[in-house]
Every structure is written in C-alpha cells, then in structure tokens.
Structure 1
Amino acid sequence: MAQYTPMMQQYLKIKSQQKDAFLFFRLGDFYEMFFDDALKASQELEITLTSRDGGGEDRIPMCGVPYHSAENYIKQLIEKGFKVAICEQVEDPKTAKGVVKREVVQLITPGTVMEGSMLDEKENNYLASVSEFEDGIYTVSYNDLTTGENSVAMLSEGFDAVLSELFNRPVKEVVVDETLDEAKQQMFKDRLGLTISFSNQTTIQESFQSLVENIQNDKCREGFGRLLNYIEHTQKRSLDHLRPVKMIELKKYMSLDMYSKRNLELMETMRKQGKKGSLLAVLDQTMTAMGSRTLKKWLERPLLSIDEITLRHEQVEGLLDQFFERETLRDQLKSVYDLERLAGRVAYGNVNARDLIQLKQSLTAVPQLLETLQQFNHKAVHYLYEAINPLTELKDLLEDSLLDDPPIHISEGGMIQDGYHPQLDEYRDASKNGKQWIAELEAKERKETGIKSLKIGYNRVFGYYIEVTKANIQHLPEGRYERKQTLTNAERYITPELKEKEALILEAQEKSVELEYHLFTELREKVKQFVGKLQILAEQISRIDVLQGFAQLADQYGYHRPEFNNHRVVDVKQGRHPVVEQVMEGESFVPNDIFMDESKDVLLITGPNMSGKSTYMRQLALTSIMAQMGSFVPCEQANLPVFDQIFTRIGAADDLVSGQSTFMVEMLEANHALTHATENSLILLDEIGRGTSTYDGMALAQAIVEHIHESIRAKTLFSTHYHELTTLEEELARLKNIHVKAEEYEGNVIFLHQIQEGAADESYGIHVAKLAELPDTLINRATTLLHELESNRREETDEEQLSLFVEEEKVTPKPQTSKVESRLQNLNLMELTPMDAMNELYQMQKQLKKK
C-alpha cells in the first residue's frame, strides 16, 4: 500500500470493502475505475482503457465515464448482472486538507435499482433472500425497493420448491448465507440467472420492527431480517417507504411449479421471445404500469377461495355491462402515472420536480375516476370506489407550490410558483427589476455613445459586460469604460455602475436558486408524509385497472363468466386457446368441448402430430388459471372445479446446463407431478415415454396412467402415440379414449382439429413429414417401409393370438358351455379366409377376457 500515492491508497482501501462490485470513484467530472475494474469495465462497456502513474513501479490501468452520463453505463453493467458501488466526494475540495474525503454512498445491484431508466415499468424488480433451516424448512423473502413491497413465504417441500417459487416472480438477485451449499448457489445462477449476494446478519433493528409486526413465525422473521440487513447495507439512505411484510400463505393459491409455468408459456414463450406469444400478452389490457404489474401478480398466484374469485368476477361483469362508462374509465386511467414508484422515489429521496408534477396530474385524475365509477350500476363495482381516498390535500399542496414545467435538476431553480413564499418573490422581483435595469442601461449607453450595435451581455466567467465592435471603439468616452476582455472583432468593457448592479442581480439569482432548492426539499418532506396513503391508493387503482382490462378482454374476444362446482366436474362448451386463436392468420380457431365428471378422471388422447392435441390440453389449463385469477374465459360456457395445482409435461427440452437429456427431464417432470398431485389437481402429460425404446416407453406410459387412475385420481389429460394404450379403457373404469379427428383425401391428410370420442385409427406421421416438405423420394420410401412393417406386424400378431387362444383352450376348465364356446363349436374356421378367421378368434378372446 505504501508505494502508492495517498489518493490511490484511499481508492484501494475503499475497493477492499467492495470486492464484488465495480467501484465508480469520483474524480472531478468523471467516475474513474482502476486496476482489474478498469480492465473488465473497458471490455464490458467498450470504453477506452488508459493508464496513470499511481506511485508504484508500473502504470495503473484506468478508465472512466463522465459523471453526467454515468447512468447509462451503470445500466449496462446492472443488466449484465454486475454491481456498481458509487463513491462520491463527501467534503468540499476547496476546504479539504490533503486528499478529499470520499465514501461509498450507494451500492447499486440488479435487485436494488431505483432509477426509472434502468427498470421495466410493467414489471416488478424483486430482490429476494433464501434462508435454510436445519429441519428442511426454507423461507423466501421478497422486496421491491421501487415500490416498498415486502413479503415472505415458508416452504417445506425441499429445494426444488424454492427454485419454483423464485421462478414464479421477476427476481433479479438473491441474498443467501455464505454457508449455503455451493451446488444450490450454482442452481440459482444457472437455472434462474440470478445474481448471488451474501448476508449473514438476520437481526432486525428496532427502527424496522414495525415492518414485521404481523409476522409471528420466527423463521420468517429471521429470513426477512437477512434481506432487510442487505438493503440497509447497500442503500445507506431513508427506507421510510418500505411497507409492512405480508405473509404469503401458499395454501391460498393455486400452485404452479416452474415446469408448468414454462410449458404453459404464462409469462414468456419457450422460445424466449419475451412477453409476445404468452398468456400475459393476451391478458394485459391495462392502462397503467402499476396495473400491469398487479396483473402479473394475479397470474403468478391464481386464487383458491371461491368467495374471492366470485367477487372479482362480479366486478368484471359490472364493468363489462356498461360499454361507454368503461371506455371513459380507460381514457381516464391513461392520465394516472406510476403512483407506486413515485411514492417510492419520494421516500427514497431521489424524486425531482417533474416527478411531483406527474403525481399532481395523477391525483387530479382521481376525482374523475370516482365520478365515472359511480355511474356503474353493479353493486360490486361500488366497492371499488367507496374505499378510495382522493388525497385532495396533497393535490392542493402540489398545485399551490409547483410550476407546471419545471427543469429536471432541482438545483437549477424554476420549480416553485410565484406567491408560494414571500422571500422567494422578493428575490425574483429584484432579479427581474435588475434585468429591466440592464435593458434600460443598454438603451441609455447606445444613445450617449451613438453606437447602435452596442450591447450588454452576460457569461459565467466575466459576469455582465458592455460589448463594442472594434470599429466603434473610438466613439467611447474616455475614463468611464474599463476593458475586460478582447475578442477578434470586439472589445468587452465594464463600468462601476454596471458592476454594482451586477452584484445585486447575481446575489438575487443565487439566493433565489438556493431558496428554491430549500423549499423543494421541504415540499418533498411534506409529500413524504402521504407515502403510505399513496401506496394504498396505488393498490386500489391497480385493481380497477386489471378488472377493467378483464372486462375489455371479455367484450373484445367473447369470453364468458365461468362457474365453479365442488363435484370435480369439468364441463367446458366450445372452449378455445386464448393465445393460439389470436395468432392464427387467415384461419379460424376450431373450438372443442371437454367433459369430465366424477366417473371420468383420465382422458387418453390419440391422434396425429400437428392435429391439436397439445393445444387442447393447454387450453384447459389456461382456462382454469384465467378463471381462478378472476378473468372470464374463452368458451361459451364453463363449469369447473377449483384446482389446487396444475402439473404439465408438454414439449421436449434438454436441460443442457445440468447435463440432463430430454428423457430425464421428462421423467423428472412426470415424477414431480406424481409426487405432489392430489385428487383436486390437474395433470397434463404429453407423449410420455417417447424418449426411450418403444417397449420401455409404452410400459412407463401405461404404468403412469394406471398410477394416476388408481392412486391419485387427479383430473388428467394424457396424450400418446402408443395406440396400444387405448385398450386401457376396458380395464380402467374412469379412463376414456378421445381422439383428434383427421381425414385422408387424395393421398393428403386434413386435420379437422375436432375432438371426438374413441381412439384414433392412424398416426399419419408420414403425412406430417410430407407437410414439412421432405423430399418426395424419402416420403415414397417411408410409405413402402411402413406397409412392409405393418404387414409383418399383422402376421406376427395373428400367429401370437392364435397360439394364445389355443393355449387358453387347453388349460381352461369347461364346467359348462358358454356363449363363446357355443359360438366356437358352431363355427367352421376352414370355411373362412385366414383374416376373417383371426378376427373372429380375436373377438372371442376379448369377450373371454372381459368375462
């Protein structure tokens, strides 16, 4: 350390405390980085790498970014999962003795971002913490620093449940104890893409005890304490906007594991194309950013309480019934800015005057919203406005204090209304009169000197000056003008009179700006007293926004209100897939019914590829999720049970990160469903067993179907290409065969996308290959091979069946003549063709087995 200059020693000391972050070290108008930070930042940010003499033997690598544009560079680093420590000068360089004192004033991490330009306005930005306890219990705590939201959940189903819980929300960073197993830490990184941070401190300080008053469980308090201590450590400023911690009672919500969320494409598509093509993209008819975030929360956790679901449906129905009022409401919501994040910025201390103008405009729109809501006739809609506090006092305060178009920076003045503060009015008057005096002086000097081009100007270096072109210098009176600056074509002068007035004007301007800054900070503190009420108002308006979006959706796409039953009956008439029907170009979606009562738990679905089996399965799951989150659903009529969980295995995907094949992933997902499902769950399994040999796959598929049917009894849709499994309908009382209809016409297959009872008779795989435009020679060869294989298989099967029948006849006692035996005795097999004879024997065998 001693070999370096005092400033570099200061840098190294601070950097030693921020080892996992880029240290933005303030030097004048730049944030500088040194050593390894400089080497890495120059690559990540694509900025020039330089060097400087720091007192050691070698020059020190160095790079920097301008202070005024640092936000964009910080954003780039945060989006890549890095952390940035902001180190500022905390004393005036003019008065400093030696090296200017510097401190880290904020640690910006992916989970603690506050700047709006770094955030997705329609998505929460969660920081999470995970705590593991000796009895296998985990707690998962959440904080969104931008809105002040806090919550905690307790899980007892193992680490996979923790991964699913974190996958369930837009988490950017997770805080753990340093002793947490490294393999688990790696899963956070690899499977969820999270930044890992550490905090071993779990004690909650006295000043934050009010946040956890409602949390009685010691594990949950300890788990949230870890999160809170990390936030305190990184932010180093007011956290007054943090709201009391809510306990997430998972038993109140439908459980959707990470596999199901991914397979059903709830938030994003499996092709990682973002929101487009997901259920969220269809459902999001909100008009505000905070409404969009609330919609995502509802989609993350569909309800189990029929009373709560019914209230939402009643409110959607009330908003749906009155079109013109709903359109007015939608227009008015456009005027409401993000109250949640504005309240957070107020409490956090980084709100500016323009933010407060947005707050004022939002509060101005609230009385109009209330007036429109009162025009709806439905009683359930009345609940939406009766609890709303329009915060008129805060709106009046902002109207009286702020100008409508203030500057971005609060140190420039020009924010406060005339008449708000007497002293400010005096300063402004002095400044205004001074400028008037300057204009009058300019006119007077022109007249006395006869120089019409004479002008009085101002700059920050020389203050006010009188500028005269060199051609007119001879006309100036001697002795009164003092030369101040020489230009190429002009000279600049001052006079004692001008200098005296300049001091008065600049003093008034300077004091005016200082006073405005002081008045704004006072105003910010006054607004801060309303933060809690603003957060409540934001919640209420967000709910209204989501519900009107559901009504808009129902009106636009013909969705209907679902009903619920306690008899495990699924009865959907003319059901549609909400996403697929919107992306079909030039085609209309073919709706289908689905019916399962107490005597029917498993639907075994057969049919060709591309015929719509997966779509049919998914649309039931999406319909159930939409119904339980409070939305109307895409069908003509729906009567559903309340599903406690949905499990899916749809689509093939290798888990390359953990080295697991498609088949292993398939088996893991199937096992997850079989382990956790109840009779009140919905299971969707698509083509189970195709990742291994035919007999292995068929055996596994049948065993899984039998296990679900006999042991779990969950409502299950099971699609398969193993047509041999269709015989299970004769053995399993609550299993029914259905298939997707297809027709063959002139050598081509036509998919009708219609679900019908019974098993499919063909797979049409070669026809699908033909649709994919494989070479004709290949298609013809495959057709020939198929005919040969089918012929060989028929011959082998005929021989096996005949042998089996003969053997059974040898060993089966015949105490009396049965109908089958009578039929056999009266039948002369030699008079039939071989195929007819085999068919006759096969039918008798089936009757014997059934008997």
Structure 2
Amino acid sequence: MDSALGPPEQMAAKRDELTPMMAQYHDLCARYDDAIVLFQVGDFYETFCGAAERTARLLEIALTSREDSTGEYPMAGIPIDNAESYIEDLLEAGYRVAVADQVEEPGETSGVVERAVTRVITPGTLTEDELLTGDDNNFVAAVARNGDRLGLALLDVSTGDFYATSATSDESIADEVSRFDPSEAVVGPDAAADPIPEECMVTPFDARAFDRERATEKLTTYFRNPDALLADTAEIRACGALLAYAEYVRGGEHEGERGEDADERVAAVFEGDDEQRLEYITQLTRYDPREYLLLDAVALRSLELFEPRAVHGRDDATLVGVLDETASALGGRKLRDWIRRPLLEPARIEARHDAVAELTGAVQRRERLHDRLREVYDLERLIGRISRERANARDLRSLRDTLAVVPDIREQLADADCERLRDLHGNLDPLADVRELIEDAVVEEPPIEITEGGIIAEGYDEDLDALRGTARDGEQWIEDLEDRERERTGIDSLKVGHNSVHGYYIEVTNPNLESVPDNYQRRQTLKNSERFVTPALKEREDEIVGARQRADEREYDLFCEVRREIAAEVERVQALADALATLDALVSLSTVAAQYDYCRPEILEREGRDGLEIDVEGGRHAVVERTQESFVPNDACLTTDRRLAVITGPNMSGKSTYMRQVAQIVLLAQVGSFVPARSARLTPVDRIFTRVGASDDIAGGRSTFMVEMDELATILREADEHSLVLLDEVGRGTSTADGMAIARAITEHIHDEVGATTLFATHHHPLTELADDLAAAFTLHFEVDEADGDVVFHHEIAPGAASGSYGVEVATAAGVPEPVVDRARELVADATEDEPEAGGEAETRVRARGEMADETDSGPASPATADGGDVPADVAAELRALDLAHLTPVEALTELDRLKRLLEA
C-alpha cells in the first residue's frame, strides 16, 4: 500500500518538511505499510492524505482537510467510541488496520503527544466481540511446504482452538482450507497461495517465522514436545509461523502498555518475549483428514451445509440452519465443527447417537438443560480475553454467572445412562474456587472501566477498605461543613459545593460578603457570588482526593491480581467450556430429532465390505421440508450389487432434491444426528463428491463446461468404493451427442473402475440403457401426470425410466409466453416424426460408441457414420486404439472433436 502521504519515492523528501505530529503519522504508516493506520487525535482516530481519501470513500464519512505550515491536506476521522463498526467495514473491504493510540497523557508532555501502534487488526486475528460472529469460529491459517508435503495450521485467536494437518497435494490442503473457511492465511516463502480460496486474505509474513528451527523454538514455548505432537517438518513450520504471527498482531494490547513498531514486534516474537505469549493456547490438535468424512469446497456448496445456493436464499435454508437449536455460542461453534468434520468410526458415531437418543426420550431433562445452557456465556472467548488481560470486571461477573449454573447442569446428568453423558457429567467442573474468588472480589454490577474504582467488593482487602473509609470520613466532614458554617457565620444561603476544576468550595452570595470570616480564602468570583476555601477544607480535600486516587490504584492492582489468578486456571475453564459446548450440541440434535420426527440410523460396520450400503425408508430433505408446506418422502436402497442409480424425470420433479437428501442423511448420521426418515441403515462413507448445478469461472478463464469437467476429473481421480457420488446432468455444457458420450464414458468408468456408490440424474434417456449394460446399475424415475397440457408433479420416486422429459410443459408452468411454447411444441413434434425408430440420431451415435468399446479382434463390421456411410479405416483404427478408461473427460472430448474433424474433412 502507498504511504498515506504519497508514493514511496516521495516519502523521504516530504518527511523533513512535516510538522512533528504529521512526521509521527508518516513514520507509523511507513512501518505498517500493509495496513491503514488509525491515528488517535483526541477522541477520534484520524487518517490523512491518501489514506483519508481512501477511508472516506470506503466508510462513507466526511472528507475534510487540515492545514499547517506545510500546506493543506485531506483528513478523515472516526469516533473512538464507535470505532469497531468502521474497522469492520475496512476489514470486509480487504484491509488490515493498525491502531495507533496516544501512549502519553497530553497534559504530561510539552511537545507532541507520542503515539504507537497498540493493535494490528486483521480479518483472521479478531478478538473483539463486536467484530466476531459468536456461533462460528474465525480462523487464521498458515501454509508451509517441505519437499513434496504441505503443512496446514489453523488457529482461532479468540478461542485458542488450534489444529494442524498435512498432505502431499495442493488439492487436499485446499479441501481442508475450504472445510475450515479461514478469514486469513499466512503463506510461507516456499508455499504458493494456490490452496487458498480467493475470498480469503493472503498475508505475507517474515520468512524467518517459517524456519524449521525457529518454528520449533516457538512451539516449544507452548508445548513440551512439538516433534512428538506433529507429524512432519511442514506441520511444524506452519504451526510455529502461525503462533509467531498471532503474537505479532497481538502487540502491545495490554492497558497502558507502550506500543512498538513492526520490526520491534517481530524481534520480540523471535526472542521469546514472555509478554507476547498467548497463554490461553494450551492445546494443539493434530488430525488426519482421512479420520473424517471428506467434503471439498464443491460438496460444501452443493449440499448447502453453511450457505444457501440461491443468491437470495434464506439464512436458515442450510443444514446448519435447521439443526442449530443450540442455546449458547459455545454449542453453536461445536455443532458447526461436527458438521464440518463428520465421523467415520462407527463406535464414535454410536456414542453420539446414544446421547441423542437418551435426551430425545427425556423431554423435561432436555428442556431444563436447554434453559440452563441459555445462561452460559462464551467461556472460550471470555478466558481468552482474561488471559490476554483485556477482560473487564463485567467479564469476570459473566464467568461467575456461568459457573453458577454448572451445578444444576451436572445434577441433570447425575443419573444418565449412556457413557457419553456420564463422561460429560464428570467433566463439568464447577470451578467453585474461581466462582468464590469472583464473588468475594468483584461487586455484582461493576462499571465498564477498570481504572476508575467501584469494582472491588467491600471486605475483600483491608487496605482498600481503609482508604475508602478515609475518603468517606472526609466526605461526611464536608457534608456536615455546610451546617456548621451557616451556624458559625449566620449566612443562611451559604453552600458547600464541588466541581472538577476547582474542587471543593464554600459559596457566598454578594449581599452576604461582609459576613465572610477572615479565614476564608477567595478561590473564584462569579457574577452573583464568590467562592472560598478554608485551610481545613483544603486539607480535607487533599485527604479525600488522595484517598480516592490511592483507592482507585489499589482497586486496579487488585483487579489485575484477581484476573491473573483466574487466567492461571485457563485449562480448567477450557475443559469446562468444551464439555458445555458438547452438551449443548447434543441437546440441539435431540431437540430437532424430537420436534421434526427424525429416526436413529443404524450404523453398519465396514469390515469385510467392499462397498457401501445405504438403505433409507421414507427419507426427507432436512432443509426443503422446513421451507415447503409439504414434502413427499422417498426411499433409497443402494448396495454393492446395486450401487449406480440412473435417475430420470422432468425438471422440478425432484431429482436433485432426492440426490441431495440421500447425501444429507448420510452426512447427518455420521455427524451423530438422527435423520429425517422412517428408518435408515448405512455404512459410513469416506467422502461425498458432487457434480451438481451449472456455474462458470469467467475470472479464472473457465467456461461452465470446463468447470464441470474439472469437477468430474477430481471425482474420477479421487473417488473409491467407499465414496458417495452425486452427478446431475453430466455433459449438458456441450452438444447433445458429445454430452451423452461423455456421460456414458464417465458412468461406465465409475462403475467398472472406481466402484463408488453413485446417484446419476440425467435428461439423456438413452443413458437408461446403462442398467442393461452395467451389472450394478439400475434405473429410477420421478413420474408426472399430464392433463390438458398441464403437468402434475408427484415427487415420488419409482423403479424404471421416465416416459419423457416434459420440458415444454415445465416451460409453460414457468410462465414462458404462449407463442414460444406453441412453437416449441411444433418443433418437438417435427423432431419426433424425423427420429429413427431406434431412438434417434443421438442415441444411435451413443450406441455406436458403446459397440466400438465392445469390439474384439474377430473383425466387426465397419462403424457407421451419421449419414449412413462407413467410417474410414484410419479413423476406425484410431477409435479402437483409444484407451477410454484412462482418458480424462476433457481429453475424451478433445479426441472426439479431432476425429469428427477427420470425418468431415
């Protein structure tokens, strides 16, 4: 980013001409040249020159100007009291923000007030509640390469959640990045940003942080033996660099701490400065992606797990939207993590199902738990703020209020039957000592500020009580002073008052000035009165002010001491937070199961199974049934011997919904949830692949068809017999004949070579013949009724192929103008009359391709071209030589195009 005062080449020349304040601003902008510097001037954060023009435009605030000895220049500012909302807008616009606070009191310096950057705020390192979404994590990622291996680290700076993994392919790391959806990624010097999605901010960081030795040293300050904790050098480099970055952006955020420039901060990070350490990061979870059901970015979008596909879709029209009945932010994040990483191991899945089953059947207990969990504050972020020394007294009271409900929550689980709930009962540590400490030390309703007194309870500290007693005695003496002085002077209108400028005074109106005693000393003259002090009043005032000041200082010291004591229990608080989050997520799943008639799925062991079994009776789409007035349930039965379903039917009949509902039921079962069905039994799935919907990537130079082929190539390359594959309208981005050829070739390859369980929806009716040609293929269809030109969708699936596509009828229902519909009917009728009996030219071409693949060396007849002629011998030979099983879809299409040109030549 250019300096706020102009391009870099102009900076040195301008520096010597600036006023001291603007020189200070210029220096901070130069040190933090990748951020917008918010420069405190009184009660505002100001930006100047180029930065002012930029922020005024982005934030839609007034662009003013400032004039000094160097001339006039633009200025734009935001109020400090409302800075967070503006900072959020800057972050959403893709900027980092460096907050430069005044680190000196204006009245204590004769020159310009010194300012320093006390916080660097980036999208991935937010800790401010106002900028965070409570029910989801906010991750920052780091990627590092070591040889052919990529390491990925993910950290939520606000909660301390810390994960690490690695893989040998950029695609695998890209899938994990999509799964966790970080707001920011720190990339090592030898790792390209390819695995990072475009919407994620990519941040370059000091290359030293990714050095193996330095990364190990950094990790060792947090964890005893990082080499044993992590799998390889790539993970160590990513994790160590991420911790260094988190410490760097933390900077001097402690109250009253003097800020440092960027170079000093980086140096402090590498020197192991204990003040930079994030004490609440106590656990690092190393995981293998293969331990969970894998969901890539395409599947996450297609199945609408977290975001609706429709541009104007309802926020709750997602899987998490219908499942989330959690009562706390803790539970909301836990539930999202479960959906993000469904389980594979049947025993772990069953343990969650046991807990959901018990809570579903215990209505009063479930509702009582939900009510109590609503009183739980966000312990993870609370203890994070406490450990960072950013928590105020109200935060401590919130912690106390949460701990107060834990005994009742434990009591609700005291007689639990299932092992998972019994474990939670044992893990719900009420932290009685922490609760008692807060109750004893902090008043019930403390003020927000922690430096102005009124936060420490009476009786907690004798010295503080003595100081407060001195101040109260003095205040009482002054309250009695008015009566005494009126009696002594005979001035009935005499008043004793106080203001922040002149302190305590005795006020006498002008007509009574002759009665003023000799020991009164004039302090202030007003229009109708005079204000005086006496030596005794001045002495009492000094006592009161001194006692109050010392009391405020003592309160602040005591509060910091209490906060440190609580921070020392960070691991206990985090363990309690995890137990409460888990319980909240289980209560949410059981609430949904009870309210919407979900059933417990039977989870089958995979031992000895070559493929998958998915048997669902009366299955429903969890999201669609909640957004529609009615929903028609459907069965699904897929086994090793019947693993490829070719589904036909008109648009809007329910093909895509059906496929997604099967995938969602599988996913829900592996999350640990009950499922929307009458019954369900299934084998855990390793991975769900989807090729659903049409989209392009114009910015990336990819057409809709190319995007489709890329997604199909991934499926063919990575799916196996334990994968569930959804294919919707494969090949529709090209000509009908080529599309059917590609669709058939892909389907055959999945059936013969991959062995994945597959749901394939298509309008290419000739492809239903796959059920005759492939042993494990079968057909399903959605039937409709037609009456007087109108179509009625029943949304019921049945065996066999559909009788037609009803495209014109659907166009009519959609409101296409009648002349267009009539013309379409004419064209359909003409095409039907001209169609060969065998099923039409397109079908003949597809069959011809299938016959070619089945030819043997015994010498078949020459293949026929579309116009009835024979295929030239050289072209036929090339066709026979093609190794279709090892061609990607794009390569197959290229070959078809080349051979077609040979025929036309």
TM-score normalized with structure 1 length = 0.89
**Aligned with 2:560: secondary structure?**
helix
Verify the 8 A CA contact 1:199 1:229 in the aligned structure 2. Answer: no
Q: CA deviation at 1:531?
A: 0.7
Residue among 518, 528, 537 paired with 1:498: 537
The answer on 1:371 being equivalent to 2:401 is no
1:413-436 alpha-carbon deviations (Å, 9 max, x no partner): 111110000011111122222222
Residue among 216, 222, 237 paired with 1:222: 237
- Please give the residue correspondences for 1:628-667 in structure 2 after superposition, counting only pairs within 5 Å: 628-667=670-709
**1:199 alignment partner in structure 2:** 206
**Aligned with 1:233: secondary structure?**
helix
Amino acid paired to 1:633: V
**2:380 alignment partner in structure 1:** 340
**Aligned with 2:143: secondary structure?**
strand
**Aligned with 1:784: secondary structure?**
helix
**2:794 alignment partner in structure 1:** 752
Cα distance in 2 for partners of 1:683, 1:799 equals: 30
1:180-204 alpha-carbon deviations (Å, 9 max, x no partner): 44xx46x7463x3434333312223
Verify the 8 A CA contact 2:482 2:495 in the aligned structure 1. Answer: yes
Amino acid paired to 2:333: R
Residue among 29, 41, 44 paired with 2:58: 44
* Higher mean C-alpha displacement, 660-669 vs 195-204: 195-204
Verify the 8 A CA contact 1:319 1:381 in the aligned structure 2. Answer: no
**2:260 alignment partner in structure 1:** none
Instruction: Give the direction of change, closer, same or farther, for the CA distance of 1:800–1:111 in structure 2 (3 Å limit).
Output: closer
**1:592 alignment partner in structure 2:** 634
Q: CA deviation at 1:504?
A: 1.5
Verify the 8 A CA contact 1:449 1:475 in the aligned structure 2. Answer: no
Residue among 574, 583, 586 paired with 2:627: 583
1:223-252 alpha-carbon deviations (Å, 9 max, x no partner): 212212212222123411112321121110
Residue among 791, 794, 811 paired with 2:833: 791
Amino acid paired to 2:423: Y
Residue among 715, 722, 729 paired with 1:680: 722
Residue among 105, 113, 126 paired with 2:118: 105
Instruction: Give the direction of change, closer, same or farther, for the CA distance of 1:222–1:733 in structure 2 (3 Å limit).
Output: same
**1:767 alignment partner in structure 2:** 809
Cα distance in 2 for partners of 1:634, 1:700 equals: 35
1:558-609 alpha-carbon deviations (Å, 9 max, x no partner): 111111223422110000000000001xx32100001112211100000010
**Aligned with 1:104: secondary structure?**
strand
Residue among 161, 164, 180 paired with 1:169: 180
* Higher mean C-alpha displacement, 565-574 vs 204-213: 204-213
* Higher mean C-alpha displacement, 615-624 vs 453-462: 453-462
Give the number of aligned pairs.
795
Residue among 702, 721, 734 paired with 2:763: 721
Cα distance in 1 for partners of 2:120, 2:334 equals: 28
Q: CA deviation at 1:257?
A: 0.6
Q: CA deviation at 1:99?
A: 5.0
Q: CA deviation at 1:46?
A: 2.8
The answer on 1:73 being equivalent to 2:80 is no
**Aligned with 1:403: secondary structure?**
coil
Instruction: Give the direction of change, closer, same or farther, for the CA distance of 1:465–1:599 in structure 2 (3 Å limit).
Output: same
- Please give the residue correspondences for 1:313-712 in structure 2 after superposition, counting only pairs within 5 Å: 313-447=353-487, 454-468=494-508, 473=512, 476-487=515-526, 490-565=529-604, 566=606, 567=609, 568-584=612-628, 587-712=629-754
1:516-540 alpha-carbon deviations (Å, 9 max, x no partner): 1111111111111111111111111
Verify the 8 A CA contact 1:128 1:175 in the aligned structure 2. Answer: yes
The answer on 1:241 being equivalent to 2:285 is no
1:371-400 alpha-carbon deviations (Å, 9 max, x no partner): 111143444421221233221111111111
**2:298 alignment partner in structure 1:** 259
The answer on 1:133 being equivalent to 2:133 is no
Residue among 17, 26, 30 paired with 2:31: 17
Instruction: Give the direction of change, closer, same or farther, for the CA distance of 1:480–1:218 in structure 2 (3 Å limit).
Output: same
Verify the 8 A CA contact 1:268 1:274 in the aligned structure 2. Answer: no
Verify the 8 A CA contact 1:679 1:714 in the aligned structure 2. Answer: yes
Cα distance in 1 for partners of 2:420, 2:331 equals: 19
Residue among 157, 160, 165 paired with 1:153: 165
Verify the 8 A CA contact 1:30 1:67 in the aligned structure 2. Answer: yes
Instruction: Give the direction of change, closer, same or farther, for the CA distance of 1:38–1:179 in structure 2 (3 Å limit).
Output: farther
1:331-359 alpha-carbon deviations (Å, 9 max, x no partner): 11111101100110011110100000000
Q: CA deviation at 1:453?
A: 5.2
**Aligned with 1:466: secondary structure?**
strand
Verify the 8 A CA contact 2:35 2:95 in the aligned structure 1. Answer: yes
Q: CA deviation at 1:713?
A: 1.2
**1:731 alignment partner in structure 2:** 773
Amino acid paired to 1:393: D
**2:17 alignment partner in structure 1:** 3
Amino acid paired to 1:303: L
1:394-417 alpha-carbon deviations (Å, 9 max, x no partner): 111111111010011111211111
**Aligned with 1:171: secondary structure?**
coil
Instruction: Give the direction of change, closer, same or farther, for the CA distance of 1:787–1:683 in structure 2 (3 Å limit).
Output: same
**1:823 alignment partner in structure 2:** none
Structure 1: 5+ residue runs without aligned partners? 809-851
1:11-67 alpha-carbon deviations (Å, 9 max, x no partner): 3333222110112233444433333222222222233334445664x4443333344
Instruction: Give the direction of change, closer, same or farther, for the CA distance of 1:473–1:692 in structure 2 (3 Å limit).
Output: farther
* Higher mean C-alpha displacement, 419-428 vs 198-207: 198-207
1:53-88 alpha-carbon deviations (Å, 9 max, x no partner): 5664x4443333344433333232223221111223
Instruction: Give the direction of change, closer, same or farther, for the CA distance of 1:450–1:788 in structure 2 (3 Å limit).
Output: farther
Verify the 8 A CA contact 2:29 2:37 in the aligned structure 1. Answer: yes
Instruction: Give the direction of change, closer, same or farther, for the CA distance of 1:79–1:432 in structure 2 (3 Å limit).
Output: farther
Instruction: Give the direction of change, closer, same or farther, for the CA distance of 1:54–1:112 in structure 2 (3 Å limit).
Output: farther
Verify the 8 A CA contact 1:130 1:138 in the aligned structure 2. Answer: yes
Percent of aligned pairs sharing the same letter: 41
**Aligned with 1:168: secondary structure?**
helix
**Aligned with 2:732: secondary structure?**
coil
**2:862 alignment partner in structure 1:** none
Q: CA deviation at 1:557?
A: 0.5
